[in-house]
Amino acid sequence: MQLYSSIFSVIAHWRRANVNCNFTKFAVYQTQVDKRSYSDLAYFHQTGKEPLQYSTFGALIQEAAAKYGDRTALISCYENKRYTFAEIKYEAEKLAVKLRELGMQREDVVGLWITNSTQWYISYLAAQLGGYVTACINPALQAQELDYALKKAKVHTLITTDKCGKQNFYKILKSLLPTAGAAGSRAIETTQFPYLRHVVIDGESSAGEFTNWAELLSEPSSTEVKLIDELNENVRNIKPESASSIQFTSGTTGQSKLAVLSNFSFLNQGYYFGRTLKMHNGHKSICMTLPMFHVFGLSVVNAAVKHGATLVLPSPTFDSKAALESIAKEGCNVMLGTPTMYVGMLEEQKASKHSTHTLELGIVGGAACSPEIYAQTKKIFNLKEFLVGYGMSEACAAFFAQEGTESVEEACQTVGRLYEHVEAKVINDKGEVVKFGELGELCVRGYVVMTEYQDDADKTKETLDKHGWLKTGDKFILQSDGVARIAGRNKDMIIRGGENIFPKEIEGFLDTHEDIVESHVIGVPDKRMGEEVCAYVRLRAGANTLTQEDVKKFCQGKIAHFKVPRYVRCVEEFPKTSSGKIKKFELQEWFQKESES
């Protein structure tokens, strides 16, 4: 019996020793896992702490109204309007039903050509409830540019206003649709726009040619009330993979591509972006200085709906004084903007000393933020945190963001950590993954990535590979802890104050000037805007030298104001390679030498 006891004792001791050995091995393995350093290759997967949500944005609107019904969802200071989550959902329901009566079917495209307003917010929510696709159109576009946008996006119904500031939307529409309303019908029937069927316009300008916004949002009839009930029932039939929005995005081919972003992508990105804005730590009030049509601004809207935050609209377009007045009046906790916007708000605050004591957090994106702007913003507005992020239209805006724990040096040099459930890698020119700490092109994969470029298989294939990796075109250094440092852009693109500008589009337009033989556009450094547009032009023989004022007059009313060159330089010849390609880097060197002298 003692022999058996001894044997069992030996076996038990061996098992304990083996278990302890396995725990030690597991601890070593877990340390390796935590570092994500299975190898020295620049690949990082930010695993999620909770599962992604398989749902749609329409369902999210319903959830928000049920959860936050009496909470204020939207305050438009300049319009003097306020809506709770329950009220804004009701307005969106009415519009969604009315759009269906205008002939819109699920996955038809509704174009929003509007500045920041209650009209924009209601229209966006209505599209999501109805299962329509939102085409976010820059309100600064002129007739020729709008023509392209309507056709490219296949817009069925365009929602806009009569005018805002210097932009006369109604006048531009009449130039494109001169026969609208001629037959006594508000329906659009023209071969020029084969998909467009209706224009909904807010204001007094329309004299029967287009559908009136106020009439469309009038109280529903008993039949329409039943349709609203049906609408809410049918939200569950919208597929998470279906398109939620199409974003006009930049490139180097001369005209915008359309990135298709799904309900699933935007829903989950809204959750994680909201966490970046600390919305999960309690109710937040956000000063909405960003344009809602832009993917950066749109992601804020999505996050606010997801987390029940209040959006405060200071003005239809960015106005630093209106922004700071709104922060003081409504007690905003969060401010957002591009570096350019922060420069404007800093200048206004130094001059007027607005009460901004309620501010806690600032977010900057859209362009590189200098250490000077970073330090001044955090100090003057007494922010607890001022965070830098990185993203792009093809990936639902942000997917890198700082956490607030960075040192001043890290905050100015990095774009933070990767979002949960997203993968990143950095590759060289051959498509091979480089090592951590080495420079290369950033690629990302995950729920944030677009479905495709609409009706552009070739460009989709160039940007999105068969394994789901999105090539950003930006030069990055990725650290083994998942923190990224942006080093520059591969794309021949200018970012002016957060606006993405493609040189070839401006070049194509400038070349139509009777005195210009050839033009080439570059981005040059600017303290306020990040970059400015500089046009180098070669003139025909005998032509007078063109000034910036001459070019400005030529561009007025034909291309958006932010595309108009700030600098114009006339040259006799362009620097070229042996194959005849223009050396744009030499043009930038010319400008730099000129600036230094």
Q: Looking at residue 9, what is its pLDDT?
A: 44
Judge whether 291 lies within some domain: yes
Q: Looking at residue 507, what is its pLDDT?
A: 86
Mean pLDDT estimate for the chain:
88
State whether 293 and 247 are in the same domain: yes
Distance CA 293, CA 301 (A): 10
Judge whether 575 lies within some domain: yes
- Binned at pLDDT 50, 70 and 90, residue 375 comes out as confident
State whether 238 and 136 are in the same domain: yes
- Binned at pLDDT 50, 70 and 90, residue 250 comes out as low
pLDDT digits (tens, 9 = 90+) for 414-428: 999 999 999 999 999
Domain boundary among 460, 490, 520: 490
Choose among 440, 484, 508: nearest CA to 144: 508
State whether 267 and 297 are in the same domain: yes
Answer with the residue of higher pLDDT: 473 or 53.
53
State whether 391 and 466 are in the same domain: yes
Judge whether 346 lies within some domain: no
Distance CA 372, CA 564 (A): 27
Per cent of the chain over pLDDT 90 is 69
Q: Looking at residue 406, what is its pLDDT?
A: 85
Judge whether 49 lies within some domain: no
Task: Find which of 20-29, 242-251, 260-269, 331-340 is predicted with most confidence, using mean pLDDT.
Answer: 260-269
State whether 152 and 78 are in the same domain: yes
Q: Looking at residue 36, what is its pLDDT?
A: 47
Residues 427 and 433 sit within 8 Å (Cβ to Cβ) = yes
Cα four-point dihedral sign 174, 179, 183, 188: negative
State whether 305 and 413 are in the same domain: no
Task: Find which of 197-206, 321-330, 386-395 is predicted with most confidence, using mean pLDDT.
Answer: 321-330
**What would the mean pLDDT of 17-32 be, rounded to a whole number?**
36
Domain boundary among 490, 523, 556: 490
Judge whether 29 lies within some domain: no
State whether 555 and 528 are in the same domain: yes
State whether 439 and 307 are in the same domain: no
Counting the structural domains of the chain, the total is: 3
In degrees to the nearest 10, what's the CA dihedral of 86, 87, 92, 98?
120
State whether 510 and 407 are in the same domain: no
| Domain enclosing residue 486, as ranges | 384-490
Judge whether 228 lies within some domain: yes
Cα distance between the two ends of the chain: 100
Judge whether 349 lies within some domain: no
State whether 483 and 500 are in the same domain: no
pLDDT of residue 20 exceeding 80, the answer is no
State whether 250 and 299 are in the same domain: yes
- CATH code where residue 567 lies: 3.30.300.30
Domain boundary among 441, 475, 490: 490
pLDDT of residue 16 exceeding 90, the answer is no
Choose among 534, 535, 539, 545: nearest CA to 517: 539
Judge whether 378 lies within some domain: no
Query: C-alpha 49: how far from its chain's center?
Result: 25
**What would the mean pLDDT of 10-29 be, rounded to a whole number?**
38
Pairing relationship of beta strands 257-262 and 243-249 according to DSSP bridges: antiparallel
State whether 473 and 523 are in the same domain: no
Which of 298-302, 363-367, 460-464 has the weakest average pLDDT? 363-367
Residues 87 and 69 sit within 8 Å (Cβ to Cβ) = no
Q: Looking at residue 541, what is its pLDDT?
A: 82
Answer with the residue of higher pLDDT: 367 or 339.
339
Cα four-point dihedral sign 232, 234, 236, 239: negative
- CATH code where residue 415 lies: 2.30.38.10
